[in-house]
Amino acid sequence: MVPKRYYTTVVYILLIFLFFMSSCVPQKKLRYVQVKNDKDKQNTYINALTSRRINIFDELYIKVFSIDEKTAEIFSYESGIQYGMNIGLISYTVDENGNIDFPFIGQIYLKDYTLKEAKEIIQEELSQYLPNTSINIKFVNNSISVLGEVNRQGRYEFFDEKINIFDALALAGGLDRYGNRENVIVIRRDDEKVIYNYVDLTDKNIVSGETFYIIPEDVIIVEPLPAKSSSYGNITYTTALQTLTTMITLLLFIRNYNQ
């Protein structure tokens, strides 16, 4: 006769197994953009990619081109100009009043202008000193922070005006096995306000939302799942079902044997 303690042990093992199976997160929660209703079946969404406007403390790369190279260099290598990180681009910092300090010209107000508009303003000011010039201007040292359940937390730089949220998460290696795709927080500063935005990466409508495009100084926080998911492990549902069936069979056998 099989001792009663073996019967009790099998019962405990079965209960533990059922507990872990019940705590698993459905695979659906691990997918990104999903079709959740009839409205999501469309494949085209509208989200106008507007030009980023210059803000205080932005760093701008400004290069002056001219037939007279020596004269142009004066505007590119003046003292007091800071060097951008990584790519070594010369940059001008927009101060708290929205101005940059440009060689010989002095203060130029650029806050709230697009790069195209700023280029025209600088070129007009510069034409008084140097005719037949061309200006190249871009943002430098753009950075965002990605924290939480991602593979590589950290602060990341990019050189486009803006990137989308999937590009931003890709910089951090994507979400790890415990990342909650339905509850990603995007913290954004708007002048003196700090705004918390909650993003559902599984919602197809994300592409038309305000936080689809990530801008410099945004902070992305990936919340953890409420439970660990077995879909990332080595156990498949087929294996789990086979194991459960075997344990139930063993349990019935022991019970019948003891009777």
How many domains, in total, are found in the chain? 3
C-alpha to C-alpha distance for 71 and 76, rounded to whole angstroms: 9
In a domain, 52, yes or no: no
Domain-ending residue, one of 118, 140, 162: 140
Tell me the pTM. 0.59
Residues 153 and 191 in one domain: yes
Q: Does residue 94 lie in a domain region? A: yes
Does some domain include residue 50? no
17-58 pLDDT, tens per residue?
A: 555 555 555 555 555 555 556 555 555 545 555 677 888 888
Which pLDDT does position 142 carry in this prediction? 84
- CATH number for the domain spanning 120: value is 3.30.1950.10
Q: Degrees (nearest 5) of the Cα angle 184, 221, 57?
A: 120
Pairing state between β 106-109 and 99-102:
antiparallel
Asked if 153 and 84 sit in the same domain, the reply is no
Instruction: Looking at the structure, tell me whether residues 156 and 104 fall in a common domain.
Output: no
Are 165 and 199 spatial neighbours (Cβ–Cβ below 8 Å)? yes
**DSSP for residue 106:** E
Residue with tokens 């922070």: 145
pLDDT of residue 128: 82
What is residue 174's predicted lDDT score, i.e. its pLDDT? 94
* Contact call for residues 53 and 23 (beta carbons, < 8 A): no
> How much is the average pLDDT of 117-127?
90
**What is the enclosing helix (H) or strand (E) of 243?**
helix 237-258
At residue 69, the 3 state secondary structure works out as helix
Mean pLDDT of 115-127: 90
120 and 234 in a single domain? The answer is: no
193-218 pLDDT tens trace: 889 999 999 888 888 888 899 988 89
**Which range marks the domain in which residue 166 is found?**
32-45+143-224
CB hemisphere CA count around 53 (13 angstroms) = 9
* Both tokens assigned to 85: 């990180």
**Which of 140, 171, 190 corresponds to the end of one domain?**
140
Q: Which CATH number goes with the domain that contains 162?
A: 3.10.560.10
Q: What is the mean pLDDT of residues 11-19?
A: 59
Please write the tens of the pLDDT for every residue from 140-194: 878 899 999 999 999 998 877 779 999 999 999 999 988 999 989 999 987 678 8
Last residue of a domain, one of 78, 109, 140: 140
> Is 220's pLDDT higher than 70?
yes
DSSP strands (E only) in 89-235: 90-93, 99-102, 106-109, 133-140, 142-148, 154-158, 163-164, 179-190, 193-199, 213-214, 219-224
Percent of the chain predicted with pLDDT > 70 = 59
Q: Is the CB of residue 33 less than 8 Å from the CB of residue 202? A: yes
Which of 201, 196, 197 has the alpha carbon at shortest distance from 225? 201
* 65 and 97 inside one domain: yes
